Structure 1
Amino acid sequence: MSNQHYEATYLVETPLPLAKVAEVIAGEQSCGTFTRVEGETDELRARARATVVSVRDLGEVEQPSMRSAWLDRKGVRERSRRGEIVVRFPIANVGMNLPTLAATVAGNLFDLGEVTGLRLESVRLPGSYRRLYAMPRQGIVGTRRLTGRSDGPLVGSIIKPNVGLSSAETAALVGRLCEAGLDFIKDDEIAADSVHAPLAERIPAVMAAVRRHRDRTGKNVMVAFNITAETDAMRHHADLIAREEGTCAMVSLNWCGFSAVETLRRSTDLALHGHRNGYGALSRHPALGIGFLAYQTLWRLAGVDHLHVHGLGGKFAQEDAEVVASAKDCITALCDEDDRVMPAFSSGQWAGTVEQTYRAVATTDLLFMAGGGIMAHPGGPAEGVASIREAWQAVEAGESIADARRRSPALEQSYAFFGNG
Structure 2
Amino acid sequence: MSTSNSNDRLFARYFIETAFPLEQAAATMAGEQSTGTFLRVPGETEELREKFAARVESIVEGLPTVEPSLPGSGTPANWDGVRRTAQVTLSWPLHNIGPSLPNLLATVAGNLSELRAFSGLKLLDLTLPPAFLTRYQGPQFGVAGTREVTGVYGRPLIGTIIKPSVGMVPTQTAEQVRVLAEAGVDFIKDDELQSDGPRCPFVERTSAVLAVLREIFDRTGRKVMYAANVTGELDEMLSRHDHLVSHGGTCAMISIHSVGLPAMTAFRKHSQLVIHGHRNGWGMMGRSPALGMSFVAAQKLWRLAGVDHLHVNGLQNKFCESDESVIASARECLTPMFAPPNPGCEIMPVFSSGQSARQAPGTYAAIGTTDLIFAAGGGILGHPMGAAAGVRSLQQAWDAAAAGMALGEYAASHPELAAALATFGA
Tell me which interval the TM-score lies in, with the shorter structure as reference length: over 0.9
2:208 to 205, 208, 222: 205
Q: Distance between the aligned counterparts of 2:204 and 2:408, measured in 1?
A: 46
> Is contact 1:273-1:305 (8 Å) kept?
yes
> Is contact 2:19-2:75 (8 Å) kept?
no
> Is contact 1:235-1:267 (8 Å) kept?
yes
In structure 1, the residue matched to 2:387 is 381
Helix, strand or coil: the match of 2:10?
strand
Helix, strand or coil: the match of 1:296?
helix
Q: Distance between the aligned counterparts of 1:342 and 1:331, measured in 2?
A: 7
The one-letter amino acid paired with 1:343 is P
The one-letter amino acid paired with 1:84 is Q
In structure 2, the residue matched to 1:56 is 60
Q: Distance between the aligned counterparts of 2:248 and 2:81, measured in 1?
A: 63
> Is contact 2:136-2:265 (8 Å) kept?
no
In structure 2, the residue matched to 1:323 is 326
> Is contact 2:122-2:290 (8 Å) kept?
yes
Equivalence map 1:183-332=2 (5 Å): 183-332=186-335
In structure 1, the residue matched to 2:418 is 412
Q: 1:384 to 1:82 in 2, by over 3 A?
A: same
2:71 to 57, 67, 82: 67
User: Could you tell me how far 1:59 is from its partner in structure 2?
Assistant: 2.5
1:10 to 14, 27, 38: 14
In structure 1, the residue matched to 2:147 is 144
The one-letter amino acid paired with 1:58 is G
Q: Distance between the aligned counterparts of 1:212 and 1:144, measured in 2?
A: 21
Normalising by structure 1, we get a TM-score of: 0.97
Unpaired runs of at least 5, structure 1: none
In structure 2, the residue matched to 1:343 is 349
Q: Distance between the aligned counterparts of 1:131 and 1:309, measured in 2?
A: 27
User: Could you tell me how far 1:72 is from its partner in structure 2?
Assistant: 6.4
> Is contact 2:304-2:345 (8 Å) kept?
no
Deviations 1:37-65 (A, max 9, x none): 12222221111111100111112112110
Helix, strand or coil: the match of 1:289?
strand
Q: Distance between the aligned counterparts of 2:220 and 2:8, measured in 1?
A: 52
The one-letter amino acid paired with 1:161 is P
Please identify runs of 4+ aligned residues in structure 1 that moved more than 3 A.
72-77, 128-132
Q: Distance between the aligned counterparts of 2:75 and 2:127, measured in 1?
A: 35
1:30 to 29, 34, 56: 34
Helix, strand or coil: the match of 1:407?
coil
> Is contact 1:258-1:302 (8 Å) kept?
yes
> Is contact 1:130-1:334 (8 Å) kept?
no
Q: Distance between the aligned counterparts of 1:131 and 1:53, measured in 2?
A: 26
User: Could you tell me how far 1:78 is from its partner in structure 2?
Assistant: 2.7
In structure 2, the residue matched to 1:167 is 170
Q: Distance between the aligned counterparts of 1:151 and 1:164, measured in 2?
A: 36
> Is contact 1:378-1:417 (8 Å) kept?
yes
In structure 2, the residue matched to 1:178 is 181
Query: In the alignment, is residue 121 of structure 1 matched against residue 124 of structure 2?
Result: yes
The one-letter amino acid paired with 1:56 is V
Q: Distance between the aligned counterparts of 1:131 and 1:347, measured in 2?
A: 36
Q: Distance between the aligned counterparts of 1:354 and 1:225, measured in 2?
A: 26
Q: Distance between the aligned counterparts of 2:134 and 2:370, measured in 1?
A: 26
Q: Distance between the aligned counterparts of 1:226 and 1:110, measured in 2?
A: 33
Q: Distance between the aligned counterparts of 1:252 and 1:76, measured in 2?
A: 45
In structure 1, the residue matched to 2:362 is 356
The one-letter amino acid paired with 2:391 is V
2:46 to 42, 45, 66: 42
> Is contact 2:14-2:88 (8 Å) kept?
yes
Unpaired runs of at least 5, structure 2: none
Q: Distance between the aligned counterparts of 2:137 and 2:285, measured in 1?
A: 24
Q: Distance between the aligned counterparts of 2:207 and 2:374, measured in 1?
A: 26
Q: Distance between the aligned counterparts of 1:179 and 1:362, measured in 2?
A: 29
The one-letter amino acid paired with 1:207 is L
Percent of aligned pairs sharing the same letter: 45
In structure 2, the residue matched to 1:112 is 115
> Is contact 1:10-1:121 (8 Å) kept?
yes
The one-letter amino acid paired with 1:378 is P
User: Could you tell me how far 1:96 is from its partner in structure 2?
Assistant: 2.2
Deviates more, 1:279-288 or 1:71-80: 71-80
Q: Distance between the aligned counterparts of 1:346 and 1:255, measured in 2?
A: 20
Normalising by structure 2, we get a TM-score of: 0.96
Q: 1:248 to 1:359 in 2, by over 3 A?
A: same
> Is contact 1:180-1:383 (8 Å) kept?
yes
Deviations 1:183-216 (A, max 9, x none): 1000111111111111111111110011001001
Q: Distance between the aligned counterparts of 1:8 and 1:374, measured in 2?
A: 41
